[in-house]
Structure 1
Amino acid sequence: MDSNMEKRVLDERLRQIFVELTSIDATSGKESAVADYIIRFVNNLGLKSYRDNAEELSGGNSGNVIVEIMGGGEYLLASHMDTPRSTTGLKHQFKDDRITSDGTTPLGVDDRGGLSSILFALEKAVENKTLKPCTLLFTVCEETTLAGSLYFKPAPNLKYGFIFDSYMTPGHFVTRTCGAINFELVIKGKSSHAGISPEKGINAIMVSAEAMTKFPFGRIDEVTTANIGSVNGGTNTNVVCDEVVLKGELRTDFVSHGEELMGKILTDFTGVCEKHGASMESKYFWDFLPYNITESDLPYIHFSQVAETLGIESVPAKSMGGSDANSLNAKGIKTINLGVGAQNPHGNDEFILYEDLSNASMLAYQLLTTEIKN
């Protein structure tokens, strides 16, 4: 690949790889067909790949696919193999400046755009004999549980990485994200006949409703959000409800702040339950941890150098969403999430611009073929 090739022209081979990958239906836990495609692709280039046993954690039909090039090097490039929704029946539409579906299915650009960019760049690097030592990681279940990246066992030589998975345009890279706490609160009341003896019951719905008036829904501050997204309880209209299950999340940039806020919520809800003679069972866990990459960190430096070489502006950004980058940072692999340009992700109106797919592939090529400059 020539770094000064016309960015608005989509290479026919890149288009072919993208079409082939997006034509494979592989939602979370069902990535085996995509894994097979990647393994064949890599093997045809004379490289070795293997699957780990991430399905032991994900419960799916495939592990992650890992390619260690020339010993694996100090850094990795990664993208995920699953899509959030089925792409069965996908009909590609090639318009003046973009690829879309026909509007009846998703395109699957999240994250087949990232996959295509890396594989196309890999093929070109092998052809040009310019490949540098590095590792490629293709994960499972990013869209649901991050199980693939959570299971991944990095080699001791790996120091930093690049995830090709952000909806932002190429050149943007996520250096800071929140972490997320998932919680479940079970409010326990007492059942009774709603018409004959309602006084003998403790209505868990009423208790939950009062408790939720103390919950800080929405955006709390610039780095914190809170939500209860699922409320379930009750059986029949003539029975005082004895149990309600609430599920929600907190997102924040700081672990200490998340723990403090979760503690306050539990205290407030427990107080309301005690007031009405009800009780509460609770559990919570960090779904993913926050991370913060600075200008002095290796991925920031390496990516900025590569983008400058291509004449692409490098733009650090913050995200309130999680990705495989969160898992890798938690493992000590300093990682940034790179913009691929997946527009309207997860919807039937998903699309990707030819220019963005080309730029993402050029960035991948430069990362595969250019070592960091000291």
Structure 2
Amino acid sequence: MKDSVINTINTTTVEERFLRYVQVDTQSDPSSPSQPSTEKQKDLGRMLADELLGMGVADAHLDEYGYVYATIPANTDKDLPVICFCSHMDTAPDCSGTGVTPVIHRGYRGGDLTLPGDPSVTIRQSEHPDLKNQLGNDIITADGTTLLGADDKAGVATIMTAAQLLMTRPEIKHGTIKILFTPDEEIGRGVDKVDLVKLGADFAYTVDGETAGSIEDETFSADGVTITVDGVSVHPGFAKGKLQSAIKIASEIVSGLPKDRLSPESTGGREGFVHPVAIKGSVEQATLEFIVRDFEDDRLHAHELELEDIVKTVMSRHPGCTYHFEVKEQYRNMKQVLDKYRQVMEIGLEAIRRAGMQPLRRSIRGGTDGSRLSLMGLPCPNIFAGGHAFHGKEEWVSVQDMEKAVRTILHITALWEEWR
């Protein structure tokens, strides 16, 4: 179909959806063993499934694990791959997601945005350079007391808006479209219980990126490292020459990390890092949790070897103490899969162009559900949803960028039909 048709479709309902969705508390909990980790994530899942049913998406449903599945039937006779669009419903545990009060800054004129619920929270243009591209646009923030939830309710709202348009605009020819909304992405469990057979998709796109026009086919590879230190516990009144505190040994390990490299605060671009995220314990035993990241698997393993060398050096100063070093794979760089299916990216890039933007091809210094889905056999790059400054009180999203994401989704569906 003509690009101009999709580009003139009214996508403004994405704002209303987003404002409703962010007011549903869906914060996930890494300490919970359940799936989903919090039952409140299902509150949004039920809302989305009901809305999809109301659009006429007959099979929309929320399953026991908190996933929403839905199918938009094909409206063409062509034999096409089944394409899925995926976003996660949960918000990060880093900052409160309870009682989100969205604030709309209409017709942004530039400069800083001071948030009304806590005037000490200011979104400074100097720290958020993408704001320079938003003059005249409508910016949504929280009120300064919580995160906003644009990560990834902006993605959810854009997919839901695109779904409604696909159900009501038959001139947009497309094959079978699948929708997947996941829980617990923010705590690394977003696809733990996904049923790929039931989903039945050949290719997918997560809608979980930031700047308008961005598309990403590469993520970090990621491992988690747990270091358990066993010290020597003795009554402190009789401890001279005997006690060896596991807490102090663990602190020495952290202190031994490089100061000017190999950390999140000292790296950028394609540099990886080793990052301590938790420490707990007692004199007798202490546990350190690390995340290790790099785009190349061999460098990832090299970082882990360097970390263990630091541990060995520290432990050599504490005879009689022992340690255990455990590495668990978390996800792998999806580029190793996506390079085998170039049409997925080519269509994504062309869809962004047809939506009136210059594509920004980027690598993610993090991961998405698409990282694991790709390695599970469902090739899945990531496209933008328009949110920025995720996981904190300065999070914001542009309404107009969400609308661009809706049009990009529609162009993707049309291109798969057109190019076959």
TM range (shorter): 0.7 to 0.9
How many angstroms apart in 2 are the aligned matches of 1:275 and 1:103? Answer: 47
318, 324, 327: which is aligned to 1:284?
327
Per the TM alignment, residue 267 of structure 1 is displaced from its structure 2 partner at its CA by 4.6
The whole-number CA distance in structure 2 between the counterparts of 1:93 and 1:225 is 37
Between the aligned partners of 2:236 and 2:205, the Cα distance in structure 1 is 58
Cα distance between partner residues in 2 of 1:171 and 1:294: 20
**Post-superposition offset of 1:11:** 4.6
1:261, 1:106 → 2: CA distance? 32
Q: Any idea what SS the aligned residue of 2:238 has?
A: coil
SS in 2 for 1:207: helix
Corresponding residue for 2:380? 335
1:90 aligns with 2:101: yes
State the number of aligned residues.
355
Q: 2:162 — aligned with what? A: 121
User: 1:233 pairs with 264, 272, 281, which one?
Assistant: 281
> Higher mean Cα deviation, 258-267 or 74-83?
258-267
| Residues 193/117 of structure 1: CA separation in 2 closer, same or farther (3 Å cut) | same
Asked if the contact 1:188–1:280 (Cα under 8 Å) also holds between the matched residues in 2, the reply is yes
Partner of residue 21, structure 1: 21
Structure 1 contact 176–291 (Cα < 8 Å) conserved: yes
Matched, 1:108 2:149: yes
How far is the alpha carbon of 1:117 from its aligned partner?
A: 0.7
Report the equivalent of 2:54: 44
1:166 is aligned to 2:209? yes
Instruction: Decide whether the 8 Å contact of 2:72 with 2:163 is kept in 1.
Output: no
The answer to whether the Cα contact below 8 Å between 1:231 and 1:246 also exists between their aligned partners in 2 is yes
Unaligned runs of 5+ in 2: 29-37, 75-79, 108-136
Report deviation, 1:73: 4.4
Counterparts of 1:93 and 1:212 in 2: how far apart (Å)? 43
Alignment-mate amino acid for residue 26 of structure 1: T
**Structure 1 stretch 225-234 or stretch 262-271: which is displaced more?**
262-271
Find out whether 1:69 has 2:72 as its counterpart: yes
Correspondence for 2:308 among 266, 280, 284: 266
Normalising by structure 2, report the TM-score: 0.77
Match of 2:272 among 218, 224, 229: 224
What is the CA distance between 1:157 and its match in structure 2? 5.3
Displacement of 1:274 after TM fit?
A: 4.5
SS in 2 for 1:187: strand
1:139 and 2:182 aligned: yes
1:23: how far off? 2.2
Name the residue aligned to 1:60: none
Q: Secondary structure, in 3 states, of the residue corresponding to 1:199? A: coil
Structure 1 residue 210 displacement after superposition? 4.0
**Structure 1 residues 157 and 19 mapped into 2: Cα distance closer, same or farther (>3 Å)?**
closer
| Cα distance, 1:264 vs structure 2 | 4.2
C-alpha displacement at 1:354, in angstroms?
2.3
3-state DSSP of counterpart to 1:249 = strand
CA distance change for structure 1 residues 5 and 295 in 2, over 3 Å: closer, same or farther? farther
CA shift digits 1:286-317 (9 cap, x unpaired):
12222213496132011122122222211210
Query: Is the Cα–Cα contact under 8 Å of residues 49 and 68 in structure 1 kept in the other structure?
Result: yes
**What's the RMSD between the two structures over aligned residues?**
2.6
1: CA distance between counterparts of 2:165 and 2:72? 15
Residue 129 of structure 2 corresponds to none
User: Retained in 1: the 8 A contact 2:22–2:100?
Assistant: no
Identity of aligned residues (%): 19
Q: What is the one-letter code of the residue matched to 1:64? A: Y
Give the Cα separation in 2 of the matches to 1:25 and 1:211.
37
Report if the CA contact (8 A) 2:220-2:293 is conserved. yes
Q: Distance in 1 between matches of 2:147 and 2:249?
A: 41
CA distance, structure 2, for counterparts of residue 102 and residue 197 of structure 1: 53
- Does residue 350 of the first structure (1) align with residue 360 of the second (2)? no
Q: Residues 274 and 92 (structure 1 numbering): CA distance in 2 closer, same or farther, change over 3 Å?
A: same
SS in 2 for 1:16: helix
1: distance between equivalents of 2:296 and 2:44?
36
* 2:412 pairs with one of 360, 367, 371: 367
2 CA distance for matches of 1:297 and 1:82?
30
Give distance in 2, aligned partners of 1:20 and 1:137. 19
Q: What amino acid is aligned across from residue 3 of structure 1 in structure 2?
A: I
Return 354-363 or 209-218, whichever deviates more: 209-218
Distance across 2 between alignment mates of 1:213 and 1:108: 34
- Which range is displaced more, 207-216 or 106-115? 207-216
Query: Residues 68-126 of structure 1, C-alpha deviation per residue, up to 9 Å, x if partnerless?
Result: 33389422111111122414151433421212222233222111111111111111111
Among 294, 297, 313, the residue aligned to 1:252: 294
Give the drift of 1:269: 1.8
Closer, same or farther: CA 299–87 of 1 in aligned 2, 3 Å: farther
Where does structure 1 lack aligned partners over 5 or more consecutive residues?
A: 56-62, 235-240
Q: Secondary structure at the match of 2:381?
A: strand
TM (norm. structure 1) is 0.86
